[in-house]
Amino acid sequence: MTFDDALALILGWVGRDLSITILDHSSCGVIAVLSGQVHASHELTAEAATEYESVELPLDDDGGCTLVLDRPAFHGATGDEGGVEMMIGSVLIALAPCDID
């Protein structure tokens, strides 16, 4: 899965509650566990960023928590509608919707 594929999947979850786990890839140790809702922001599309830009995903209304996905440090992703895992630098970021429809 490409960066843009993973980003498009995440953007499909705008407004939904997400569980976000950040792991150190080398030790598989947990760095952080977060939750929040991805909020739409101006020009937040897979096509809006160039191959050298990072994408910022606000996780609350007031900008107090933002997940930054660094496109140049991207090393791959896997996932589907149930969740996505992205390698960014030396960390694995796992995102999954946690609301129940």
Domains of the chain, residue spans: 3-97
pTM of the model: 0.81
Both tokens of residue 66? 């933002």
Q: Could you please report the per-residue DSSP string of 77-92? A: EEEETTEEEEEETTEE
pLDDT tens digit string along 83-96? 999 999 999 999 99
pLDDT tens digit string along 31-62? 999 888 888 754 445 555 566 778 888 887 66
**Placement of tokens 């994408």 in the chain:** 55
64, 46 Cβ separation under 8 angstroms: no
Intra-chain end-to-end CA distance of the chain, in Å: 26
| Domain covering 3-97 assigned CATH 2.70.180 in the classification | yes
16, 35 Cβ separation under 8 angstroms: no
